[in-house]
Amino acid sequence: MATIVGAITTSHVPAIGGAIAKKLHQDPYWQPFFAGYPPAREWLAKARPDVVVAFYNDHGLQFFLDKMPTFAVGAAPEYRHADEGWGIPTVAPFRGDPELSWHVIERLIAEEFDLTTCQEMLVDHAFTVPMSLLWPDVDAWPVRVVPIAINTVQYPFPSPARCFRLGQAVGRALEAWDRDVRVLVLGTGGLSHQLDGERAGFINKAFDQMCMEKLVAEPEALTRYSTVDIIREAGVQGVEFVMWLAARGALTGTVARVHASYHIPISNTAAGLLVMENRPRGAAESRAAA
């Protein structure tokens, strides 16, 4: 049976990709941001995931306005990054896990999530930047991946509650996966930021910190926010927080916070990082929950 080791949720600002390529880790602007990541990598070294299931949002590398899926699940043997036209260096291709992908797809559709399935899928910085932060300086990625893209480009977006339930369904599917693999769930994006209009530069530290706090032990409280509530409180692109909710939803056990980091600003964004461990519920607890 698959083991869900935990979830890491992190910002994916494209400039981070540039800073990694230019090795700006010790630069005064970047140092406080990069300093947040070694504890996450130390935890990963102990958690030893074989597979990463990642919730992220594509920004126009794979999906455009011609066809815009609300939820798209990768089922490819390999996922490539490509020139996004933003000057971000590309990274090595990622190995997929099509069997696990199709298992997740089957379970999600059985739970009435109507998905787009992708046997070919490019992944953009929202997927690659967090992977590079978690596994820097590798020639080949040490994990297989299952990318799940959620639309946050063209309104209406799926609601925070719906994204959380999608995550929960993914968690159930992973638990039911009859293979001895260790799975890390990744949620990328946020935290508060707005890239466009006269309100650009908008940051809401109090809201971000409340979200990081509640996500661990009472994520349901956050699902009461509507999409527009989050845009109002966290900025237009702050709505990417739904990826964090989906990732947290996939943790089926008792969840403990391992590490957190928060830094303003990276470019236009409040950058957040949260590492949550998923501890299996005890037998007694499982019986009580059943």
Partner 1 sequence: MALEKPYLDIPGTTIFDADQARKGYWLNQFCMSLMKPENRARFKANERAYLDEWPMTEEQKQAVLDRDLNRCIAHGGNIYFLAKIGATDGKSFQQMAGSMTGMTEQEYRDMMLHGGRPIEGNRYIGEKK
Neighbours of 18 (CB within 10 A): 17
* CB of 117 vs partner 1, minimal distance in Å: 23
The candidate with the shortest Cα–Cα distance to 24, out of 232, 221, 267, 284, is: 267
- Which one is catalytic: 12, 81, 193, 263? 193
State residue 275 phi and psi, 5-degree precision.
Answer: -115, 120
Q: At what angle do helices 205-217 and 227-234 cross, to 10 degrees?
A: 130
* CB of 32 vs partner 1, minimal distance in Å: 12
- Which one is catalytic: 12, 81, 103, 125? 125
Q: Which residue stretch of 58-66, 70-78, 97-105, 164-172 sits at the interface with partner 1 (rule: CB under 8 A)? A: 58-66
Q: Kindly determine how many residues on this chain lie close enough to bind partner 1 according to the rule CB under 8 A.
A: 45
Backbone conformation region of residue 105, classed left if phi is above 0, alpha if psi is from -120 to 50, else beta: alpha
Q: Which residue stretch of 39-47, 142-150, 189-197, 244-252 sits at the interface with partner 1 (rule: CB under 8 A)? A: 189-197
Please state, in angstroms and rounded to a whole number, the distance separating the CA atoms of residues 279 and 162.
24
Please state, in angstroms and rounded to a whole number, the distance separating the CA atoms of residues 278 and 7.
8
* CB of 235 vs partner 1, minimal distance in Å: 9
The candidate with the shortest Cα–Cα distance to 162, out of 78, 245, 244, 51, is: 245
Please state, in angstroms and rounded to a whole number, the distance separating the CA atoms of residues 243 and 248.
9
Residue type for position 3: T
Strands 94-96 and 254-266, sheet pairing: unpaired
* CB of 189 vs partner 1, minimal distance in Å: 12
Query: Which 228-257 positions form the footprint of partner 1 (CB under 8 A)?
Result: 228, 231-233, 236
Give the distance between the most distant pair of CA atoms in the chain. Answer: 55
Q: Pattern of binders to partner 1 over 126-155, x per CB under 8 A? A: ---------------------------xxx
* CB of 147 vs partner 1, minimal distance in Å: 18
* Site membership for partner 1, residue 21 (CB under 8 A): no
125 is catalytic: yes
Q: Which of 137, 198, 287, 290 binds partner 1 (CB under 8 A)?
A: 198
Q: Which residue stretch of 10-18, 183-191, 210-218, 251-259 sits at the interface with partner 1 (rule: CB under 8 A)? A: 10-18
**Which H helix or E strand runs over 270?**
strand 269-279
Question: Nearer to partner 1 by C-beta: 116 or 117?
Answer: 116
Q: Which residues are catalytic?
A: 125, 193
Q: Which residues bind partner 1 (CB under 8 A)?
A: 13-15, 59-61, 64-65, 82-87, 153-156, 192-207, 226, 228, 231-233, 236, 264-265, 267-268, 270
